Amino acid sequence: MDYKQKILIVEDDASTNKVIAEVMKEEGYEVFQAFDGELALDLFFKHKMNLVLLDIMLPGKNGLEVLKEIKAYSNVPVVMLTAMGDEYTQIKSFDMQADEYVTKPFSPIVLAKRVKALLKLSDPVENLTVMIGETKVDFSSYEVLRHDEKIPFTTRELQLLKFLIENRGRVMSREQILENVWGYGFDPTDRTVDTHIKNIRRKLDVPCITTIKNVGYRFDQ
C-alpha cells in the first residue's frame, strides 16, 4: 500500500477517541478525529475517507443521523461504536447500511483487527460480475446496478452475497457465514446474518436466497 488509508473516528468521549486514534495510527492509518456529528460530516466530505468509526450518542446530530447522510452519498464502510447493545438499535443500524456494530466496552486492538479485515473486504481486487435477475453485481468495483441505477449495498452485504454465490447450491450455516464473512465464531443470539440476508433480499428483489429452517441459507439462482 503506497498511501495511508484514512479513518475518521467520531466519538465524543475525548479519552476513548484518543485511545482509538493512537491504536489506528500505530497500525499505519491516517486518522481524523471528530467529537460531534456536524464536525464528522464536515471532515467526511472534505477528505476521502476509507472507513468511519462512529459512535451513536453524539452531541448535535447523533450517529444514526450521521450514518444516514454518509450512506446517501458513499459506500465507505461504517463501524458503529456504541454502548447501546439492544437488538432494535443494532437492526436499525444495519438497515441504515452500517457495515459493522461494536458494543462498548471493546478492545481497541481487536477493533483494529476488525478495521483491517473490513478494509480488506472493501478493496476491489476480485474480478467477478454476476447478473441476478435484472441486477448486475460487480464485485471488482463493489457496485450494484439495475437499469443503470445504483443500488446501495454495504461492503459486508456484498461480501456475504459473494460467499453465498461462491457456494451456490450448498446450504451455508450461520456459523459458516460468520466465520468466513465476519471472521468470528457463532453466537446463537446474534441476528446479524439474518438482518443482512433480509436486506440483500429486499435490495435484489429476486427470490434467489432460500432459507433452510434451523440450518442456514442457500443461493439458488
C-alpha 79, offset from chain centre: 6
The pLDDT score that the predictor gives to residue 138 is 87
How many Cβ atoms are within 10 Å of 109's Cβ, its own excluded? 10
> Model confidence over 119-156: pLDDT tens digits?
876 665 455 788 888 999 888 788 899 988 999 898 88
Q: Is the pLDDT of residue 169 over 80?
A: yes
Domains in the chain, ordered, with CATH? Answer: 6-122 (3.40.50.2300), 129-219 (1.10.10.10)
Q: Does residue 37 contact residue 12 with C-beta atoms inside 8 Å?
A: no
Which helix (H) or strand (E) element contains residue 51?
A: strand 51-55
